[in-house]
Structure 1
Amino acid sequence: MEARKYADLAMIEGHGYEPLPLDNLKDHIHEFDIIFNTIPSLILDDEILAKVKKDALIIDLASKPGGIDFDAAKSYGLKVIWALSLPGKIAPVSSGAIIKDTIMNIIKELGV
């Protein structure tokens, strides 16, 4: 699980997951089957998308403009779901639960 802030990385580790600083993302992106982005600036650019597994699923939940170079993703034949600002559109207070349910439903529908 990736994060930008050291406090978030510590929390991730405290929950039993492996923390990954954003600066190291390009070295590990090829390991992931499903990638969720919540950062509203370009994070998954051409250089990083070139390393993504061809059968990976990428879901962008960030506020506009999102964080994925969709033209580059398309050129690599990657599956991307563009769900920008979903939490704020649905219900800001309960968005965490809604995001989890939505993600689980998408994963079920795709048979991942």
Structure 2
Amino acid sequence: MFDHIQIKVKDLKSSKRFYTAALAPLGFSVQYEGDGVLGFGPKNAPALWLAEGESHGPVHIAFAAKNRAAVRAFYAAALPAGGKDNGEPGLRPQYHANYYGGFVKDPDGNNIEAVCHDEE
């Protein structure tokens, strides 16, 4: 859980395309768009901020998904929007019995995950 986070991206247009597609199945969309910055989140509550600039290295961000179908939809939407596979949706029992996650790399190489902790 987090209030908000900001990451630097090299190409804001490319990142906007990726995050708009990948986060839509999780219920998040662009909530703010300004000069060189975007804010994604639920309505009126942007929590992921993208700022165009020099990246400080890859990060890992995991977004909560309502169910396993949303994890699969996130993964399916992220790949054609410029994401690269970093782990197909599936159980990760090494974390716990119901950890169901899907992983993609965004256009800047950040590890972006959707995860559900509930049973099917």
Quick check: which one's strand share is greater? 2
Structure of greater relative contact order (alpha carbons < 8 Å, 6+ residues apart): 2
Structure that is richer in helix per residue: 1
TM-score when scaled to structure 2? 0.28
Task: Give the TM-score of the pair, scaled to structure 1.
Answer: 0.29
